[in-house]
Every structure is written in C-alpha cells, then in structure tokens.
Amino acid sequence: MEFRNLQPSQNLYLGPALTPQLRQALARFCGDSEVRYAAVLEESGTLCADAGDESLRDSGETAALAVGAFAAVQAVAARLGDDTFEGFFHEGKSRQFCLMPITPRFLLLSVFQAPVRFAVVKICAHKVIAGLRTTLESSPKAGFALSPLSLRGAADAGDFVLGPDVLFPED
C-alpha cells in the first residue's frame, strides 16, 4: 500500500464521533493482542486516536517520527524492488513495535513487550486494521475540509480544522 504525502490543500478532520470509535477499536486490539499501546497516525505525523498505556503517550513527537520512519523504510523497500511493502517491525530487548498501513493516509502503531509474540500481534492487527479502514472510509465526516479554517454547524459546536496553509503560510 502506497503511503502518500499530504498535499497542502488536504486538511484533516475526523469529527467528534469518529475519534471515540477509533479509540474503542484500539482498546479492544490492546486487550486481544496484549499490545501495551496502539495509535492511529495520520501521514502528516498527527496522532488521531490512541489507547493503552498512558506512559507511552506523548505530545506528538513519536507520531511524527514513526510516520517518517515508515515512509523511509517504504522508500528503501521500493528501491530494493519490493512493491508489496506492508509495514515494518522493530525488535528491541524489552520493547517492540510495528507500523502497518490502515489506508494510504493512516497508519497503525503497536507497542508491546518482548515476551509477546509478533505473530499474535500481526494477526490481531490485520483484524483491527480491517475494522479501522471501514470506520475511516465509511465516515461521512472523515477526510478533508474545504477551507483552511472550517467551523462546523451546531451539531459539531467547537470543532474546527486548521489546514497546512494556515499553519505554514507562504510569504
């Protein structure tokens, strides 16, 4: 699955109902697979939803680094002639993680302890990825807003979207 680069005209908006759905799916995944922490990451490095061990959560640096690492390893795989890249796995002494694509725009980050077998995590990940993909693709609110600062109606009071052109204006 090709992981795309965020285009300046594409703004991320998940809506108030979608994030809790993603968190519930991630919480079930953590319980089923013994994963300590799981997160849905967007290709720009944004943490969209997470579940599990609070001590593994940060303010976004890990998400940005993980997305960059995924893109780098995917590019190496393509250069080596592997056009079926489906993620990667890191095996540490005490902690391991894997990154797998959900859609061309979203990734699943899974962090687990060394005694947990990667095969179990991978089987459970494929199951949750199918559900996350359906949730993300079927939500009428998920995706792109039309303006760099989009305010929503009364149903979504307080929701807004900041696009890259607002955060990084051209001089």
Q: How many domains does the chain have?
A: 1
Q: Closest Cα to residue 111, out of 100, 127, 122, 98?
A: 98
pLDDT digits (tens, 9 = 90+) for 47-97: 999 999 999 887 778 999 999 999 999 999 999 998 888 889 988 888 999
Residue 23 sits in a domain whose CATH number is 3.30.450.30
Question: Distance between CA 81 and CA 21 in Å, rounded?
Answer: 37
- Residue 93 lies inside a defined structural domain of this protein: yes
Containing domain of residue 43, as a range?
Answer: 18-142
Is residue 1 one of the residues assigned to a domain? no
Residue 94 counted as domain residue: yes
pLDDT (tens digit, 9 = 90+) per residue, 120-161?
A: 889 999 999 999 999 888 765 445 443 333 334 434 444 445
In a domain, 63, yes or no: yes
Q: What angle do CA 163, 165, 167 make, to 5 degrees?
A: 75
Is residue 168 a part of any domain in this protein? no
Higher pLDDT, 11 or 66: 66
